[in-house]
Amino acid sequence: MIHKQTLIEATMAGAAIMKEYFDKQFTVTSKSSLNDLVTEVDHKSEAAIFEIIKKRFPNHYILSEESGPIVQESNYKWIIDPIDGTINYANGIPICCVSIGLERDGVMEMGAVYNPFLQEFFFAQRGFGATLNEKRIHVSDKDKLTQSCLVTGFPYTYLDAPNGPIQVFEKLVRKGIPVRRLGSAAIDLCWVACGRFDAFYEHKLQAWDSAAGFLIVEESGGKVTSLNGDTYNPYQPGIIASNGRIHEQLQHVVNGGEVE
Ligand code: IPD
Ligand code: CA
Ligand code: CA
């Protein structure tokens, strides 16, 4: 219970910072590439989250986007994205969130994602289902890829590989399948979990982008795998998260097959 409470408080603390600075001036700098941005607010959100977690659990391992790993001998690891959707945030687009997953002995136990602008709080605990603002959520029941509504994301630097993001996107769009691009992987996952999207796929994510969201999809009755269909592991780059029913159809296209 104390873990859940801490997770909720930490998520809310980061989100309060996002809200506070949204319409104010803040510094924006580039990281790995010109458009891989970090704002002053990412750091402030991270600091607010750390303060809550470290006060209760000073010996837990923390992996957070802006600070990297804070290695500790512990069964618990907090995986933190202090703002997922930083480009949206920096441009005043209110599709962004705080995302925090809590791993125990290498297994994701809990996840929380909060978008303070839509006031949508997604939460899941392994084995106990997933909720949006405390109401149980479920994935959609569509069973045809050709009638589905999808979402994806693109990496900051062009990924030039066979069946890369552009090729897969083109195949789907050429068949008239709607593929949205919101700019926040954590929100993409949560919107699959609550049935707004039928599936999400992306080629290159980091553990903090998906740690909470993948558990939220699984606990909503969905399926999450790597791009080739293996059991999902947030420490490898690719992801397919779906309602389960269209998973293999999408996996086929992501791996070079035609839309059938
Ligand atoms: C990004 C978002 C985006 C995804 C990128 C991520 P950030 O996270 O989740 O949707 O396409 O791959 O890096 O940088 O806004 O925390
Ligand atoms: Ca992110
Ligand atoms: Ca981030």
Q: Architecture of 145-254 per CATH?
A: 3-Layer(aba) Sandwich (3.40)
What's the pLDDT score for residue 112? Answer: 98
- Residues lining ligand 1, Cβ inside 6 A: 81, 84-86, 153-155, 183-185, 202, 205, 209
Q: Does residue 35 register a pLDDT over 90?
A: no
83 is catalytic: yes
The b/e string for 12-45 (b: 16+ C-beta within 10 A; e otherwise) is bbbbebbeebeeeeeeeeeeeeeeebbbebbbbb
What's the pLDDT score for residue 217? Answer: 99
Tell me the best of 65, 97, 184 to mutate to test the pocket of ligand 1, counting ligand atoms within 8 Å of each CB and taking the most: 184
How many Å apart are CA 233 and CA 241, to the nearest integer?
12
What's the pLDDT score for residue 83? Answer: 98
Q: Does residue 48 register a pLDDT over 90?
A: yes
Q: Would you kindly state where each structural domain of the chain is located, as residue ranges?
A: 2-136, 145-254
Tell me the best of 209, 210, 214, 239 to mutate to test the pocket of ligand 1, counting ligand atoms within 8 Å of each CB and taking the most: 209
Q: Does residue 17 register a pLDDT over 90?
A: yes
The proportion of the chain whose per-residue pLDDT surpasses 70, expressed as a percent, equals: 100
What's the pLDDT score for residue 231? Answer: 98
What's the pLDDT score for residue 1? Answer: 80
Tell me the best of 83, 166, 205, 210 to mutate to test the pocket of ligand 1, counting ligand atoms within 8 Å of each CB and taking the most: 205
Which of 6-20, 29-43, 69-83, 164-178 shows the lowest per-residue confidence on average (mean pLDDT)? 29-43
59: which DSSP letter? T
Ligand 1 atom, smallest distance to 155 CA: 12
Average pLDDT, the chain: 96
What's the pLDDT score for residue 156? Answer: 87
126: which DSSP letter? T
CATH superfamily of 2-136: Fructose-1,6-Bisphosphatase, subunit A, domain 1 (3.30.540.10)
Reported as a single tens digit per residue, the pLDDT across 163-206 is 999 999 999 999 999 999 999 999 999 999 999 999 999 999 99
- Residue 144 has phi, psi (to 5 degrees) of -125, 125
Catalytically annotated residue among 6, 39, 86, 131? 86
128: which DSSP letter? S
87 is catalytic: no
Mean pLDDT confidence for 13-33 = 93
Going from the C-alpha of 71 to that of each of 63, 68, 75, 79, 82, the distances in angstroms are: 8, 9, 11, 12, 18
42 is catalytic: no
What's the pLDDT score for residue 209? Answer: 98
What's the pLDDT score for residue 87? Answer: 95
Mean pLDDT confidence for 71-81 = 96
84 is catalytic: yes
Neighbours of ion ligand 2 (CB under 5 A): 81, 84, 209
Type of residue at 91? N
What's the pLDDT score for residue 37? Answer: 82
Q: Does residue 34 register a pLDDT over 90?
A: no
Reported as a single tens digit per residue, the pLDDT across 210-251 is 999 999 999 999 999 999 999 999 999 999 999 999 999 999
